[in-house]
Chains A and B, each alone.
Chain A
């Protein structure tokens, strides 16, 4: 009996001790599973709480043209700009330039090309002209025009070892990665772009690849991350698809040394909205269209580091990120509102 008493007493003690732990575990489980976020979900998107500034372009860009605009966030020294650039009519390009608080800076029209980058001199190159990073004054025409081959990230990489500028694209319908580069030119005027050069043909049973985004990790001798997808696979709606995150040294591109097995050896995620991929603080930021949540992804392993349930469909929003973090920007192609958000991670 005493033994039984001890056993019962021990069990009772253990249960009493475990009770608070069970409660804590339950709360943590609720939090980690986002059950609380679901229960206390709102009819308003969760991104409303992140909103810091907005610019309404609904009176400027008509609804049929909004999808033709890409969102670019560029920084040169302490100067940063949020640029909406697009060529909806196929005739000439317009760029709406805002500072990082979404105050309008300038509107550029009649441009050729649709790409934006920061060149080796630190100037902001938009389509066919170079602009001062401090005043956005026009510094003159480039030797050629920059083209945007992807809806997200950056339109060019700098490999400062030899001051090359690399502009990348996939040739649609094939497995070939092409790029153009300027190796020794000094922008703006003397800068010329040669014809695209095939760098690498990926091996394996891949086809119809699309380049969705190019990211620069911010380190001059560091990596570029290419986000590529096959539009017909791994997505459940809209532009969602399986995305591969291909990380390689920036120096590999001008050297033609991109490994042909890179695609098959790269991590991937399904149901990624291909127009909503970004890069900040060393992580890929993606939007899972099926789960309706943002993902923070380790580009090296593809593992999900953090999630954020948005409570709304973000698939029509073009996103741009400050590489050092702090804020990100979204252009909703339906409402045509440009919004500045605080980071959620």
Chain B
């Protein structure tokens, strides 16, 4: 008898528990999750190499408990159509919209920020169908060898929380659920937050700011204005939820250094100092380009040219946070030429830069530029180029420059 009891009790326990466990597993397996790559908000785009392992860690933990992962191809096309870079999907409305487009039940997004040997990570998990935030975390760690263990554990906890919170609820949330407090999270301390139609909410401190809403219906769209001295102000659309992540503001530049390489002057390089009287919009450039002129015959000298230029210009239309921008400038310059091994004077070619047209595209946070200049020599002084003809090289092409802009101050 004792043996029978010993056998029956566990069997009965199993008969009771297995359906419950099977039911939970089936629910998880039936839930599709769209995990977006974590956004790297580190200034100047540094530490980009950690984006993939961190994003993979999130995806692995969700997949490990049995969630059905939505392939990236299902949301990438929609993101491209909306012109949202794949590594910049952080704002709740965008996350929810792309999640809906991918027919996902849940969407996970987040960002990280590394500075001074520490890393801040924020990850949010949304219920796409309900348009609400399920849960999330904002946490900082010292960045060392143990970090990846810690982050896996933290994400695993998050996933368990999600499994729990998305299970059958004891209390069902109604449409009329109201949010009394919104906790804004952002890595940018000191950023001032203003809510549409209301007074200043306050400034982000220690990565968070709590806003007493007085009771707003969950899911209500709001426009948040963000501003801080030394940064460009921005607006951000949010959906009311207990926790909302705010993206940081782009810094205002007053001084930048530009490194240039120009066709027709390939045997050298140049640098330009940009001063912005109106940050990131209007600029005064002083450039210096030193180059030689390779002789292809044995009797020739190696002429050395120094091109100094002063230009005034401005960006057109697109704001500083745009990845692509373009602009125009014009001014004057002088090319000094020295021919070694002769008693010839130093030649002076003064020119007018009628139109300098350039475009920039940010790669890893640094604008890479392509520029074309229409320079007309004036024939003043001891000139080598004469006057009147637009400067060209090779097959009659005006000088084309590639360069990189390094924000300085």
Contact = CB atoms under 8 A, between A and B. Distances in A.
B297 A344 contact: yes
B302 interface: yes
Given A43-B264, A43-B392, A344-B300, A49 B384 contact: no
A43 B393 CA distance: 5
B266 interface: yes
Contact of A49 (B295, B383, B391, B399): B295
Interface in A9-45: 36-45
B293 A42 contact: yes
Interface bin, chain A: 20 to 34
B264 A37 contact: no
A45 B383 CA distance: 12
A128 B297 CA distance: 41
A154 B289 CA distance: 45
A46 interface: yes
Contact of B300 (A38, A332, A335, A342): A342
Contacts of A37: 296
B208 interface: no
Given A41-B264, A42-B265, A48 B293 contact: yes
A157 B331 CA distance: 55
A345 B298 CA distance: 9
B384 A41 contact: no
Nearest to B396: A292
B167 interface: no
A38 B382 contact: no
A51 interface: yes
A342 B386 contact: no
Contacts of A344: 297, 299-300
B3 interface: no
A308 interface: yes
A51 B347 CA distance: 12
Interface in B362-379: 375, 379
Contacts of A290: none
B214 interface: no
A8 interface: no
B73 interface: no
A44 B293 CA distance: 8
A230 B209 CA distance: 88
A42 B297 contact: no
Main secondary structure on chain A at its contact with chain B? Answer: mixed
Interface string A145-167: 00000000000000000000000
Name the residue among B265, B267, B300 with the largest chain A CB count within 10 angstroms: B300
A49 B300 contact: yes
A304 interface: no
Given A48-B384, A51-B342, A51-B344, A40 B294 contact: yes
Contacts of A335: 379, 383, 386
Nearest to A327: B299
Interface residues of B, number: 33
B168 to A, nearest CB: 66
Interface in B305-344: 305, 337, 339, 342-344
Contacts of A48: 293, 303, 337, 339, 384
B266 A54 contact: no
A334 B383 CA distance: 12
A62 interface: no
Contact of A41 (B300, B305, B383, B393): B393
A318 to B, nearest CB: 16
Contacts of B393: 41-43, 311
B342 to A, nearest CB: 6
A52 B344 CA distance: 7
Nearest to B392: A43
B301 A49 contact: yes
Contact of B384 (A39, A44, A53): A44
A246 B170 CA distance: 110
A36 B393 CA distance: 13
Nearest to A49: B300
A76 interface: no
A48 B395 CA distance: 18
B391 A43 contact: yes
Contact of A39 (B266, B302, B386): B266
A50 interface: yes
A45 B347 CA distance: 14
Interface in A268-326: 308, 311
Contact of A52 (B267, B342, B384): B342
B282 interface: no
Nearest to A306: B297
B394 interface: yes
A132 interface: no
A342 B264 CA distance: 23
A66 to B, nearest CB: 13
Interface string B262-302: 00111100000000000000000000000001111101111
Nearest to B297: A344
A343 B399 CA distance: 28
Nearest to A48: B303
Contacts of B89: none
B125 interface: no
Contacts of A53: 342-344
A335 B296 CA distance: 25
Contacts of B297: 49-50, 308, 342-345
Contacts of A54: 344
A257 B305 CA distance: 55
Contacts of A308: 296-297
A51 B339 contact: yes
Contacts of B58: none
A226 to B, nearest CB: 29
Contacts of B293: 42, 44, 46, 48-49
* A-B pairs with lowest CB-CB distance, top 9: A49-B300, A342-B299, A49-B295, A41-B394, A43-B391, A344-B297, A43-B264, A41-B393, A42-B293
16 contacts: A37-B296, A38-B395, A41-B264, A43-B375, A44-B303, A44-B305, A44-B337, A48-B339, A49-B303, A51-B301, A53-B342, A53-B344, A335-B383, A344-B297, A344-B299, A345-B297
Given A42-B264, A43-B393, A49-B295, 17 more contacts: A41-B264, A41-B393, A41-B394, A43-B392, A43-B399, A44-B293, A44-B303, A44-B384, A46-B296, A49-B297, A50-B295, A51-B344, A52-B342, A52-B344, A53-B342, A334-B386, A343-B297
